[in-house]
Amino acid sequence: MAEKPKVIEKPDVLEKPDILKPPAPAPLVAYPIEVVVPEGRQQTPAVGQRASRADGRLHGLGQTKYIDDMYFPNMLFAKIKRAGIASAYIKSIDTKEAEAMPGVIAVITGRDIPCNSFGPSLKDQPVLADTRVFHSGDGVAAVAAISEQIATEALEKIKVEYQPITPVLDPLESLKLETPGIHAPSPNIYGHKIIKKGDVEKAFAESDRVFEGTFRTQMVEHVPLEPYACIAHWDPNGRVTIYSTLGRITLGRADVGRTLGIPMSRVRIVATVVGGNFGGKNEIRAEPVMALLSKKTGRPVKCVYTRAEEFTSSTTRHPLVMDYKTGVTKQGKILGRKIRLVLDGGAYCSWSETTLGKACILSAGPYNIENLYAEAFVVYTNKTMTGAMRGFGAPQVCFAYESHMDDIARALGMDPLEIRLLNAFDEGSLSPTSQKLHSVVVKESLLRAAKRFGWNGLGDDNGAGVKA
Q: Which is nearer to other proteins, 186 or 250 (CB)?
A: 250
332: how many CB neighbours lie within 10 A of its CB? 22
Dist. CA 352–CA 121, nearest whole Å = 9
Residues of span 352-411 touching other proteins by CB under 8 A: 354, 357-358, 360-362, 365-366, 374, 382-384, 388, 390-392, 394-395, 398-403, 406-407, 410
- Cα 293 from chain centre: 25
3-state class of 424 per DSSP? strand
Q: State in angstroms the smallest separation of the CB of 31 from other proteins.
A: 5
- Asked if 371 and 200 count as a contact pair (C-beta separation under 8 A), the reply is yes
Considering beta carbons, is residue 121 or 331 the nearer one to other proteins?
121
**Phi, psi angle pair for 209, to nearest 5°:** -140, 150
What backbone phi and psi angles, to 5 degrees, belong to 64?
-70, 130
Of the two residues 111 and 410, which places its CB atom closer to other proteins in the complex? 410
**323 belongs to the binding site for other proteins (CB under 8 A):** no
**Are the C-beta atoms of residues 385 and 135 closer than 8 Å to each other?**
yes
Q: How far is the CB of 416 from other proteins (least distance, A)?
A: 6
Please give the Cα distance from 309 to 80 (Å, whole number): 9
Binding residues for other proteins restricted to 101-130, rule: CB under 8 A: none
Which of these, 148, 144, 147, lies nearest to 99 by C-alpha position? 144
* Residue number, 87 or 294, with CB nearest to other proteins: 87
- Regarding 177 and contact with other proteins (CB under 8 A), the answer is no
- In angstroms, what is the minimal distance from the CB of 339 to other proteins? 12
Least distance in angstroms from the C-beta of 338 to other proteins: 14
SS3 227: coil
CB nearer to other proteins: pick between 116 and 277? 277
CA neighbor of 183 nearest in space, from 119, 252, 254, 112: 119
What does DSSP assign to residue 129?
-
Please count the residues of this chain forming the interface with other proteins, following the rule CB under 8 A.
164
Give the number of other CB atoms < 10 A from CB of residue 444. Answer: 10
Applying CB under 8 A, does 433 fall inside the site for other proteins?
yes
Which of 228, 230, 226 lies closest to 300, judged by CA?
A: 230
Q: What is residue 3's DSSP assignment?
A: P
Residues 183-222 that bind other proteins (CB under 8 A): 193-197, 213-222
Among 50, 184, 185, 428, the residue binding other proteins under the rule CB under 8 A is 50
Distance of CA 194 to the CA centre of its chain: 24
To other proteins, the closest distance from the beta carbon of 2 in angstroms equals: 40
- State the nearest-atom distance from the C-beta of 182 to other proteins, in Å: 11
287 near other proteins (CB under 8 A): no
- By CB under 8 A, what part of segment 63-82 binds other proteins? 63-66, 68-69, 71
Residue 261: how many other CB atoms lie within 10 Å: 9
Q: Is 433 helix (H, G, I), strand (E, B) or coil?
A: coil
Q: Which of residues 17-46 bind other proteins (CB under 8 A)?
A: 18, 23-27, 29-32, 36, 38, 40-46
Cβ atoms within 10 Å, residue 342: 22
Q: Does the protein bind other proteins through residue 442 (CB under 8 A)?
A: yes
Residue closer to other proteins (CB basis): 67 or 108: 67
Q: Give least dist CB 11 to other proteins, A.
A: 17
- By CB under 8 A, is residue 59 in contact with other proteins? yes
Report helix angle 416-423 to 394-412, nearest 10.
Answer: 110
CB 423 within 8 A of CB 368: yes
Question: Which residue stretch of 7-15, 152-160, 181-189, 351-359 sits at the interface with other proteins (rule: CB under 8 A)?
Answer: 351-359
**Residues from 218 through 257 that contact other proteins (CB under 8 A):** 218-227, 246-253
Nearest approach, Cβ of residue 87 and other proteins (Å): 7
User: Least distance from C-beta 5 to other proteins, angstroms?
Assistant: 33
